[in-house]
């Protein structure tokens, strides 16, 4: 198998599995219990919190564990909007993950004023319009760091500068950048930031939200006193410990991995460009996560390309995994100006830690012939 869908999810790192297995097989104590197996579980959770905080340049007390990146996004947005009843405006972008878009739609239905900032053909948000739209009634701006479909990296520093000019808070969905590029929440001046375990070779079903000290936020889930009373529910100890281990490994390997994976991505991008005609690269050339590559194979249905690649054991995506099982055209690809037909011809390749140069060479060997054959079939219909 050649797995090139690392933005959808990643293979769990064996070292993460090993660390988690202690909590799945033996260490079953409730972290709230006062006897040794409870206290030990709590200590491991705090160690995981430390690892994640370190990778973000945050303090341990600023990390709240959740059940997913989706929950972190919901929590940040609803939690801040509810904490500011006197401010009823929320601003986001047109290319956010559904976890943000649908939360924005929920706010709209409940009477808040919501504005979606459009993007240019490369996926960069219109910063002039953002400056015009933000007012003293804006409680929160939520703009993703890297887009999951086309890799565009937004200028968070600039967004924070605009937000602060009107006293608005800033949340960013950094699910696709955490562990891939260096993040420093203090330098960025971000107030809230969402991350997810399964995108960084950790387990599924665990996420976290960074909340800068002093940020007004109301809990989304009510119940017990876990996570400083901000996220009730007995902790997913194995998941949290696994996420912490994944963060520790990411910290150790960040520079080396980035260099190697960016090189593989360049190789794949150049190879596709030089061997396949009638294609369009979607996304910017600079200011991007290089390991996310999105191409339109014009006049073809992406699903046919995906299935043909799958018969060769090569796994890619037709867009974001979250929209793959629906007929809807990706809102990201339409927002950057693709026609519905162009959007339906898009394949996303996302490269990760376990990919090798051999994987890329195999794809470059198989793909041109697959595209040529599919085009022959489609032109004969
Ligand atoms: N945000 C972005 C940018 C994502 O890519 C994803 C997952 O694809 C999520 C949020 C949701 O994360 P999770 O799968 O942990 O809910």
Q: Which residues contact 156 (CB under 8 A, 6 or more apart)?
A: 143, 145, 170, 172, 188, 190
d(C-alpha 58, C-alpha 63), whole Å: 8
Which pLDDT value is given to residue 212? 98
In the sheet where 63-66 sits, what is the strand order? 63-66, 207-211, 192-196, 169-173, 138-142, 89-93, 113-117
Which pLDDT value is given to residue 326? 59
Which pLDDT value is given to residue 381? 76
For ligand 1, whether the C-beta of 151 sits within 6 Å is no
For ligand 1, whether the C-beta of 103 sits within 6 Å is no
| Cα of 378 from ligand 1 centre, angstroms | 34
CA 267 to chain centre: 23
Q: Which two tokens stand for residue 154?
A: 């937004």
> What phi, psi does 282 have (nearest 5°)?
-105, 125
Active-site choice (59, 322, 362, 368): 322
For ligand 1, whether the C-beta of 146 sits within 6 Å is no
- State the DSSP string of 302-340: HHHHHHHHHHTTEE-BSS-GGGTTSSSPPHHHHHTT--H
Q: Which two tokens stand for residue 360?
A: 């890329």
For ligand 1, whether the C-beta of 70 sits within 6 Å is yes
d(C-alpha 314, C-alpha 311), whole Å: 7
Q: How far is CA 300 from CA 262, 274, 278, 337, 362, in A?
A: 28, 19, 10, 18, 21
Residue 218 DSSP label: -
Looking at the CA of residue 198, tell me the nearest atom of ligand 1. Answer: 15
Give the other-Cβ count within 10 Å of 306's Cβ.
Answer: 19
Looking at the CA of residue 196, tell me the nearest atom of ligand 1. Answer: 15
Which pLDDT value is given to residue 379? 84
d(C-alpha 212, C-alpha 51), whole Å: 17
| Cα of 97 from ligand 1 centre, angstroms | 7
322 is a catalytic site residue: yes
Q: Quick one: 206 exposed, middle or buried, by C-beta within 10 A (0-12, 13-18, 19+)?
A: buried
Q: Which residues contact 133 (CB under 8 A, 6 or more apart)?
A: 91, 115, 117
The pTM score is: 0.97
For ligand 1, whether the C-beta of 69 sits within 6 Å is yes
Q: Which residues contact 337 (CB under 8 A, 6 or more apart)?
A: 121
Q: What is the pLDDT along the chain (381 residues), one digit of tens a residue?
A: 999 999 999 999 999 999 999 999 999 999 999 999 999 999 999 999 999 999 999 999 999 999 999 999 999 999 999 999 999 999 999 999 999 999 999 999 999 999 999 999 999 999 999 999 999 999 999 999 999 999 999 999 999 999 999 999 999 999 999 999 999 999 999 999 999 999 999 999 999 999 999 999 999 999 999 999 999 999 999 999 999 999 999 999 999 999 999 999 999 999 999 999 999 999 999 999 999 999 999 999 999 999 999 999 999 999 654 455 556 799 999 999 999 999 999 999 999 999 999 999 999 999 999 999 999 998 887
Which pLDDT value is given to residue 320? 52
Torsion sign, CA atoms 208, 214, 215, 220? positive
Give the other-Cβ count within 10 Å of 278's Cβ.
Answer: 12
For ligand 1, whether the C-beta of 144 sits within 6 Å is yes
| Cα of 118 from ligand 1 centre, angstroms | 21
Tokens 């955490």 found at: 178
Nearest to 160 by CA among 169, 150, 148, 151: 169
Assign residue 233 a region (left: φ > 0; alpha: ψ between -120 and 50; beta: otherwise): left
For ligand 1, whether the C-beta of 10 sits within 6 Å is no
The closest residue, in CA terms, to atom 12 on ligand 1 is 69
Looking at the CA of residue 204, tell me the nearest atom of ligand 1. Answer: 15
């Amino acid at each position: 198998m050649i797995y090139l869908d690392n933005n959808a999810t990643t293979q769990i790192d064996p070292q993460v599995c090993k660390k988690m297995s202690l909590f799945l097989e033996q260490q079953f104590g409730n972290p709230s219990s006062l006897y040794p197996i409870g206290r030990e579980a709590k200590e491991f959770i705090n160690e995981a919190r430390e690892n994640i905080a370190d990778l973000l340049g945050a303090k341990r007390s600023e990390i709240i564990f959740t059940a997913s990146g989706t929950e972190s996004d919901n929590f940040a947005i609803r939690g801040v909007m509810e904490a500011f009843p006197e401010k009823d405006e929320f601003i986001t972008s047109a290319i956010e993950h559904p976890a943000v878009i649908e939360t924005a739609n929920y706010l709209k239905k409940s009477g808040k004023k919501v504005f979606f900032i459009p993007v240019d053909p490369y996926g960069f948000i219109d910063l002039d319009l953002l400056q015009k739209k933000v007012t003293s009634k804006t409680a929160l701006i939520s703009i993703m760091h890297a887009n999951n479909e086309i890799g565009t990296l937004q200028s968070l520093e600039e967004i924070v500068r605009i937000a602060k000019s009107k006293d608005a808070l800033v949340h960013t969905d950094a699910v696709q950048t955490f562990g891939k590029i260096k993040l420093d929440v203090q330098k960025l001046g971000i107030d809230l930031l969402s991350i997810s375990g399964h995108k960084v070779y950790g387990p599924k079903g665990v996420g976290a939200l960074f909340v800068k000290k002093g940020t007004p936020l109301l809990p989304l889930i009510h119940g017990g006193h876990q996570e400083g009373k901000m996220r009730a529910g007995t902790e997913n100890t194995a998941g949290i410990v696994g996420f912490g281990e994944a963060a520790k490994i990411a910290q150790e390997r960040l520079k080396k991995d980035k260099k190697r994976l960016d090189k593989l991505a360049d190789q794949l991008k150049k190879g596709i460009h030089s061997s396949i005609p009638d294609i369009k690269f979607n996304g910017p050339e600079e200011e991007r996560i290089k390991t996310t590559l999105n191409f339109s194979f014009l006049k073809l249905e992406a699903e046919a390309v995906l299935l043909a690649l799958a018969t060769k054991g090569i796994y890619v995506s037709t867009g974001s995994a979250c929209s793959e099982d629906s007929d809807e055209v990706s809102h990201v690809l339409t927002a950057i100006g693709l026609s519905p037909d162009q959007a339906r011809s898009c394949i996303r390749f996302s490269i990760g830690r376990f990919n090798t140069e051999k994987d890329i060479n195999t794809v470059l060997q198989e793909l041109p012939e697959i595209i040529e054959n599919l085009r022959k079939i489609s032109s004969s219909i």
